[in-house]
């Protein structure tokens, strides 16, 4: 049974402020005329006014004994009755007439069979996607109010929702297990069988240690094992994710004995397959999170090293600028004597260590200009290379757009993951990569255009992590 406190079912508040009393229960002139026209005595007028104002506020006619004294006192004051005059009409025929008059005045239809049909239809449509009985009760209330039906007792709505929800779940159980064969049943039954003093069901419930890179191999092996038990997605393609999560949570809350005691096989198998599916999804999510963390740390480490190298090479840059300044001065002092200028420049170079040494210094400094940390990523990526490749085979990556170049590049480096050579054939598009990445990846070997294998690998995994991160952000916004 759903707790009434968790629903939108209207109820009397324990106490009301003066403002709330006036807003909710002060009768209008039309309502006063209505009361005067249909009830003559003070007790009758108090009864009819109480029914009218309570129905306006609650959407149903409460038992008069349930109306709080605070409200009755306020209504007495509105009718200029003595504050202690709380009597109400108890004659059934009169009460019946007052209830009918109240519904007619408010334009409300009694619940009856038509109201039940409205509520049942709304709940039936929603029960295949919504799980919480309180949410279904709220939906029934919303539809009844919209179509001007009086609300029934809360217990009536609760029984209706639980009955329909049970029927919908039975249909879902049958749908999930409709294509089950002996092999699927045996594998799910196997989850509840003891092996080495425990069951696989218990093993799945035991969450592995913290999802850090140290345990990447453990999580990869876990996903491989979970998916080897049974491919779950084909059986759940038409089932709302909210229902899958609900059935999975229901299974997780049970122990092995409870699951074995479920007498309806379709329900037991449905709970187990949803539980297994959810475990597969959660493990995949953890692996994706590991990929994101690893590539973030790799990028951060490369950027930190770049900053350190820039600090180290600042002296080299100053030396190069000093040499450049000497060349300018030599040019100014010998404006027309090219031979003397050339000899002077050579002397400057020789004094500074020679042209080759100066070129090496320039190459060192130029490599770290413009905050280009990408050439440094390999050294931080390479220790985890094998595990990241293993992860790329376990997870399934899909392009979020029509551009398939990143996925094709992933398949390309997977083909060559055991290769020792530094260069790969230039057979793929690099449209997924930035200009800086393409500059690093594209090179020439023996005069032929080739791809730098190391830089390509790092670029692909970095791009995959960035794509996963963007997809998660996009999903969170929507």
CA separation for the pair 64, 425 (Å, rounded):
87
Residues 6+ apart with CB under 8 A from 6: 134
Distance of CA 406 to the CA centre of its chain: 25
**Three-class SS of residue 109?**
strand
pLDDT value of position 478: 33
pTM of the model: 0.73
pLDDT at site 137: 96
| Distance spanning both ends of the chain, measured CA to CA | 33
Domain boundaries, the chain: 4-106, 112-177, 314-367, 397-477
What are the structure tokens assigned to 3, written together?
A: 């707790």
> Are 95 and 89 contacting, i.e. CB atoms less than 8 angstroms apart?
yes
Question: How high is the pLDDT of residue 431?
Answer: 93
3-state secondary structure of 151: coil
CA atoms within 13 A on the CB side of 213: 15
Query: What are the tens digits of pLDDT across the range 285-301?
Result: 888 888 888 899 999 99
Residue with tokens 């376990």: 394
- Cα gap 25→72, rounded to integer Å: 10
As a whole number, the mean pLDDT across the chain is 88
Alpha-carbon gap, residue 136 to 131, rounded angstroms: 8
pLDDT at 211 > cutoff 70: no
421: phi then psi, degrees, rounded to nearest 5:
-70, 160
Tell which residue, 127, 116, 122, 118, has the closest CA to residue 152: 116
pLDDT digits (tens, 9 = 90+) for 26-80: 999 999 999 999 998 888 999 999 999 999 999 999 998 899 989 999 999 998 8
Per residue in 351-405, pLDDT tens? 888 888 777 667 656 656 667 889 889 999 999 999 899 999 988 888 878 889 9
């Amino acid at each position: 049974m759903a707790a009434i406190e968790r629903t939108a079912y209207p109820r009397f508040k324990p106490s009301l402020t003066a403002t709330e009393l006036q807003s909710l229960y002060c009768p209008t002139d039309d309502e006063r005329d209505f009361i005067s026209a249909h009830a003559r005595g003070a007790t009758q007028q108090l009864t009819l006014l109480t029914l009218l104002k309570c129905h306006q506020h609650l959407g149903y006619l409460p038992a008069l004994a349930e109306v709080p004294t605070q409200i009755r006192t306020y209504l007495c004051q509105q009718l200029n009755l003595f504050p202690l005059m709380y009597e109400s009409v108890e004659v059934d025929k009169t009460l019946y007439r007052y209830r009918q008059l109240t519904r007619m005045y408010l334009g409300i239809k009694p619940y009856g069979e038509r109201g039940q049909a409205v509520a049942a239809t709304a709940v039936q449509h929603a029960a295949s996607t919504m799980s919480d009985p309180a949410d279904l009760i709220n939906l029934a209330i919303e539809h009844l109010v919209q179509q001007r039906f009086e609300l029934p007792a809360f217990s009536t709505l609760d029984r209706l929702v639980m009955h329909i929800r049970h029927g919908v779940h039975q249909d879902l159980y049958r749908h999930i297990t409709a294509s089950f064969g002996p092999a699927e049943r045996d594998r799910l039954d196997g989850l509840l069988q003891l092996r080495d003093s425990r069951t696989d069901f218990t093993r799945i419930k035991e969450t592995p240690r913290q999802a850090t890179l140290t345990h990447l191999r453990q999580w990869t092996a876990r996903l491989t094992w979970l998916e080897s038990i049974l491919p779950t997605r084909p059986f759940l393609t038409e089932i709302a994710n909210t229902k899958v999560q609900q059935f999975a949570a229901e299974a997780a809350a049970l122990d092995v004995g409870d699951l074995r005691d479920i007498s309806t096989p379709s329900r037991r198998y449905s709970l187990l397959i949803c539980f297994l599916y959810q475990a597969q999804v959660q493990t995949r999510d953890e692996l994706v999170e590991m990929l994101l963390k690893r590539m973030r740390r790799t990028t951060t480490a490369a950027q930190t090293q770049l900053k350190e190298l820039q600090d180290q090479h600042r002296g080299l840059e100053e030396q190069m600028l000093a040499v450049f300044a000497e060349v300018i001065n030599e040019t100014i002092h010998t404006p027309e004597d090219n031979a003397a200028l050339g000899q002077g420049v050579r002397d400057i170079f020789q004094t500074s260590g020679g042209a080759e040494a100066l070129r090496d210094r320039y190459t060192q400094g130029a490599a770290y200009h413009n905050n280009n940390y990408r050439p440094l990523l390999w050294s931080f990526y390479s220790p985890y290379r094998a595990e990241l490749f293993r992860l790329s085979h376990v997870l399934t990556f899909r392009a979020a757009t029509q551009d398939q170049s990143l996925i094709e590049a992933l398949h390309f480096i997977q083909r060559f993951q055991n290769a020792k050579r530094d260069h790969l054939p230039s057979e793929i598009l690099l449209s997924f990569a930035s200009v800086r990445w393409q500059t690093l990846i594209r090179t020439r070997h023996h005069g032929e255009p080739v791809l730098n294998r190391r830089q390509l690998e790092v670029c692909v995994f970095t791009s995959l992590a960035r794509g996963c991160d963007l997809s998660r952000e996009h999903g969170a916004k929507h």
